[in-house]
Amino acid sequence: MHLEGRALRWAAGLAALILRGIAASVRWEELNSGPIRDLVAAGQPFLLVFWHGRLAMVPHAYHRIGGKRVKILISEHRDGELVAMAMSYWGYEAVRGSSRRGAVKGARGMLRAAREGYDLAITPDGPRGPRESLQEGVLELAKWTGLPIVPVCFSARHAWEFSSWDRFLLPWPGTRGIIVWGDPIWTGRGAEAEDSSLQQKDLEARLQMQRRQCDILAGRRTGDGEPG
């Protein structure tokens, strides 16, 4: 069903309310947030990177470390409008585009936001996968803007895992949850194509390992092998 107008705004508001309620009820543990809090304290903008399936609690994680001004790249697909509106209730402003549809428009919007001092946020396997497969746009954006890449992931001991392509994860209210921050990654401007390819593989592996670490530390039983 395609929502429009008032129905879309109502659905987005309800989704944001549910997510806020769940986030407030979860018993969170946070790992390695120190380096990211230092960036925030120093006024250093960064590029927040996380898998599409772990989107639900990232706005909460961002606010926990003191983040205030962020723009997130959201697909121009019609489903992206609901996500954009829901994120707006968390203070996330949307830049529409992706590495596929609206790529140029999205890149321009993110570059403009970086020049204005915003933090940036992107799901590198969105909007349609493959799951946990890093697309090229993340490293390109980091090099164009000069911003450090900050990987983040969450998991929960008990959660709903949807049957969508990204295995979208939503914690149960009151469960034990964990947020794991990766160390900031600075990429060199104008790197050779071979270096960029190696950096892409390395970042993808880091994000996949971070997600597995989250699940293990949360005590989550997923039966999940390699991303698929």
Which residue ranges make up each domain of the chain? 5-218
Tokens of 186: 């600075």
188: number of CA atoms within 13 Å, CB side?
Answer: 8
Query: Cα–Cα distance between 88 and 15 in angstroms, integer?
Result: 11
Asked if 185 and 203 touch (Cβ cutoff 8 Å), the reply is yes
Tokens of 18: 């549910």
Percent of the chain with pLDDT over 90: 60
Q: Give the contacts of 40 (CB within 8 A, at least 6 positions apart).
A: 65, 66, 67
Please write the tens of the pLDDT for every residue from 128-165.
889 999 987 888 889 889 999 999 999 999 999 999 99
Which pLDDT belongs to residue 225? 46
DSSP-derived pairing of the beta strands 70-74 and 92-96: parallel
Higher pLDDT, 191 or 71: 71
- Topology at the third CATH level for domain 5-218: Glycerol-3-phosphate (1)-acyltransferase (3.40.1130)
Tokens of 49: 């990177």
Query: Cα–Cα distance between 22 and 69 in angstroms, integer?
Result: 23
77 band by pLDDT with thresholds 50, 70 and 90: low
Please write the tens of the pLDDT for every residue from 183-201.
999 986 655 555 778 888 9
Query: Cα–Cα distance between 214 and 162 in angstroms, integer?
Result: 18
Tokens of 63: 């606010």
- Please give the average per-residue pLDDT across 121-130, as a whole number: 86
